[in-house]
Chain A
Amino acid sequence: MPGIEYLIAALSSFNIMLALLGVIAGTVIGSLPGLTATMAVAVLVPITFSMEAGSALILMGAIYTGAIYGGAYAAILLNTPGTPSAIATTFDGFPMAKKGHGDLAVSLACLASVTGGLVGATFLLLLSPPLAEVALAFGPVEYFWLAVFGLTLISALSEGNLLKGLIGACFGLLLACVGIAEISADVRFTFGSQVLLGGIETVSALIGLYCIPVLIDLVATPDKHLKVTHEPRGFRFLEALAISWKLKLSLIRSSVIGTLVGILPGAGGSIAGLVAYSEARRTSKNSENFGKGEPEGIMATESANNATVGGGFIPTLVLGIPGTPPDAVILGALMIQGVKTGPSLFTEGGSIVYTFIYGLFLATILMLPVGLVIGRYAYKTIITVPKAMLVPTVAFMTMIGTYAIRNSISDIIIMILLGVVGWFLNRFGFSPSPIVLGLILGRIAEQGFVQAWTIGAATDELMKMFFGRPISLAIIAFILLSLFYPVIRSRWSKLNWRGANDK
């Protein structure tokens, strides 16, 4: 193991305290809808300027880890992803909470986040330099196919009507086009409104599409928000542990997916969660339960999004290219500290890098007790608070959280209106998830598509550009597998059934 002396340095009482405080602060900030991991790290970065570089990194890594996990609370208990990374957590987390298993869902999310975080940190510790090459191998066309891969989840999220899912996704993709085009800078779909020039803010749209419909339905009836069972059940930790052990392969696979997606600059936790969810659903024996409260769905997403923390640090530290937006903030803080990133950092700056990586392990392990305690408190609060307090509190949180993203009142109005549209659409069977998927993946897909198209057209190798690169072909294979695997599997089982009957 590289540098055992750095492990001892990371375990100083000061660093343990920093890691604990960072995880608590990050978890609380991440749990508030609208406050992202990037914001959590950015806001708390100035505290680190007076610290030693290793300790500063430990604090920032702990805040980042905690914030990514914190997003799961609102996703599970309010159907609102606290951070974009937790979008796919809502798919099964909220249905589980509605059935009265919110406490179990929170514990599962915590265990999965810790596992994902540890896998990501292990990759960062042992395989950073070779894995950093993966980031360089990904061109625009690979990003395009990755976004298309994410879009294949529509078939899983369409709740029985694929056409409605596809229509929702197209609506989301059109919403993603609003504002100034990233490549050509043309103004699109603003219809003269200056408010729309900046485009539709993704997190505000997420809050609107997921949280406002919940509020609209919450206020309409005197019924409880979540099903409540009266017997005390504690953390349900052993139950969560047993499920995690049963799903260990899925957990590890999702963590590895999260790490690899985290390495890709700009991809981030939301795509990692969606891709891991898609893969978990494809390979699961209970694939038909996905979207209805399947624990494996929560575990896949949460392990993947927390694995992006370690994964994202690989290109950040080895190449100086931030893997995720919070990594960019941390990279800036490192520069202020006078740390030069690059391949030589692991040899010349070992004391900082390895102390930080061991600190990341420490923060991730501390997330287990912290996450369970805060999660339990959040769950108990949500189920015991009277509706007359819950509705205004959640409404107020959505408004202040949306405002804080771009300091814009217009964003709050757009968020509310999108919520109303989402509620109407949901009423007629158009689920909000495909819309969100289109909105998030639209920008990545368009940018990748247009860049690849331009390069392909300029080099007169358009087909080769899209279908002639090995990584692209591998992703296309996964896309086809993801789309047609349910059909192949059902045909296969029918054939087996016929074969068994013939005997």
Chain B
Amino acid sequence: MTSSQKPIRTGDTGGTVICCIFIILAAVSLWDTTHMLDSDSYVFPRAIAIALIVFSISLIVWNLAHPDIAQQQRPQNESTVRRMLLIIIMLLSCFSMPWLGFLISGVITFALLMVVAMYHEWDARKRIIYPLIAIAIVVGFYTLFSRVLQVPLPTGLLFE
């Protein structure tokens, strides 16, 4: 454990907030079960939703009773921007896939993620080799899945 990851006493506010969200989720689930006609459909999820509420309330009470519980401190040098970019690029790739097709959207996604994950300088060698490897990986996987495994990958509305 590094010095920046030592436990500190801050309380479990995050855990309490998540429990509140779970209580809302369970309540919505319980409400949804009222529309189900057959008892076979609602007995199990209703029991689980009630259990979720009970456990969440118990944790909230526990957290209130132990406000100085030790929490793990996170490293300071983490990049939230890169994290968000990773998720945004992956989601955008999904939305662009029906239009651009798996291959083109895959190459673009791969290239963008490569830029996001790069922590070193882009020297001349990397500028040439990395894109070539990226294209080889995407085309290799595309060929494996679409030709060998016969998975019908999207071809893209723009190219039909």
Contact = CB atoms under 8 A, between A and B. Distances in A.
Interface of A: 35, 39, 43, 163-164, 166-167, 170-171, 173-174, 177, 181, 183-184, 186, 188-189, 191, 215-222, 386-393, 395-397, 399-400, 403-404, 407, 409, 412-413, 416, 420, 424-425, 427-430, 442, 445-446, 449-450, 453-454
Nearest to A390: B117
A378 to B, nearest CB: 15
Ranked nearest first, the 3 interchain pairs of A and B with the lowest CB-CB distance are A186-B41, A391-B117, A392-B113
Contacts of A403: 102, 151, 153
B124 interface: no
Contact of B41 (A43, A188, A412, A442): A188
Contact of A404 (B18, B26, B40, B149): B149
Grouping DSSP codes into helix (H, G, I), strand (E, B) and loop, the B interface class, with mixed when no group exceeds half, is helix
Interface of B: 12, 14-15, 17-19, 22, 25-26, 29, 32-33, 36-38, 40-45, 48-49, 51-52, 55-56, 58-59, 62, 74-75, 77-80, 82-83, 85-87, 90-91, 93-94, 97-98, 102, 106, 109-111, 113-120, 126, 130, 133-134, 137-138, 141-142, 145, 148-154
A397 B40 CA distance: 38
A286 to B, nearest CB: 20
A395 B15 contact: no
A43 B150 CA distance: 8
B59 A164 contact: yes
17 contacts: A39-B149, A170-B48, A170-B51, A171-B52, A181-B38, A184-B38, A184-B40, A184-B41, A186-B36, A186-B38, A186-B41, A219-B79, A387-B118, A388-B120, A392-B109, A392-B111, A396-B110
Nearest to B151: A404
Given A171-B22, A392-B114, A181 B41 contact: yes
A389 B114 contact: yes
Contact of B113 (A395, A400, A409): A395
A416 B45 contact: no
A167 B82 contact: no
Contacts of A216: 83, 86-87
B79 A220 contact: yes
